[in-house]
Structure 1
């Protein structure tokens, strides 16, 4: 045996089954081979124990359990083919597709526009040096801005959602922001008949998300209402 090969062999007596947990990397590190090997996994004793573990006999119950596991049909993964930004106005959790969004901004008080009083138009806001018409979705959708409460273990901050419809961007004030949700289109349920009638006509469905029932807004109808505020 070559000298360097001899150094990799465990010394009699000091080494043996489980020596890595006594004098090796998980023990007191007193093994005289550690300095040369660096880690117990490079030692023949450690490798031999691993081979013995892999070669151990298995009982019938173990074989049956794994046979059942691999015989079971593969579960089809849900395809997440849609995404939306979820927010709250009053008591209502609502969403718009992420493709509409330009950015999210802190809430700011809009400045009134003289001689412009379109339905829902609150004024203009300056975000990053650019002016946006500020439109209250609550008024367009016929829902109350008051009410609702913050979700448990979450801070609640009013925001401005900057969205794009056709060639015009708008700032939409909301009471709370949940964030982006990716979901499978098949999860969207028909709106319940008990939903506010004014809001109902703007919904394409309802998305169950955690403890919320999120109303999915119809992009075309909402965009049309936003455009009307500037006419």
Structure 2
């Protein structure tokens, strides 16, 4: 018996109906928070990977891989994309050591205001908690509603020259590979506090992502600790 002789299994995509992409009425959401943490979603993914493939499917992919790659837009850079306020920003992936759940920092005496918000526990270790919103001149409370997805605040653990910094972000998109040559100059309408930290802007899906100058950002974070 060949793979094409096996009857295909119908997969009920509940995540698109009653899950995070649907009306969010699924009773399991309270426990799992997101469909990707649910055993039903995991089982559907497993069955989807094991589904039989037909000749049309194989032919379509064969034609796809026959097309030569566009050498003019090589994805030669990698960045972690996150949101602060309403601004989608990115820093090089290699700077980050971990992603942790959001936690409120403990304030330090005589160190109110500025980028240093306090100290925070990440993985059992205390790290300085640095506010990118304060450093970049962004209103952290100013956030447009995100359609079709849940937003989860996170702590990003950044390491630079032997020092680790915990950076609170309002949302995390993930790792993005992009062509550095495709980055555009920042728009003149971007506030001056943020624009001086940007090396360019890249378009991804429906987002405009500001690429931060890693050296300048890290230098200013280290300076705020002095």
Q: For the superposition of Structure 1 and Structure 2, which TM-score range results when normalised by the shorter chain?
A: 0.5 to 0.7
Structure 2 unpaired stretches of 5+: 7-62
- Alpha carbons 1:118, 1:230 under 8 Å: kept: no
Cα distance change on mapping 1:103 and 1:115 into 2, 3 Å: same
Partner of 1:200 in structure 2?
Answer: 195
- Alpha carbons 1:150, 1:156 under 8 Å: kept: no
What is the TM-score when the length of structure 2 is the normalising length? 0.67
CA deviation map 1:94-121 (0-9, x unaligned): 0100010011110001111223346211
Partner of 2:178 in structure 1?
Answer: 183
Between structure 1 and structure 2, the one with the greater Rg is: 1
What is the TM-score when the length of structure 1 is the normalising length? 0.66
Partner of 1:216 in structure 2?
Answer: 211
State the shift of 1:184 in Å. 1.0
Partner of 1:81 in structure 2?
Answer: 76
1:226 aligned counterpart, secondary structure: helix
Aligned residues: 162
Counterpart CA distance in 2 for 1:75 and 1:156 is 34
CA deviation map 1:61-105 (0-9, x unaligned): xxxxxxxx9xxx955343211010111111111010001001111
Structure 1 unpaired stretches of 5+: 1-24, 27-68
Q: CA RMSD in A?
A: 1.9
- Alpha carbons 1:118, 1:229 under 8 Å: kept: no
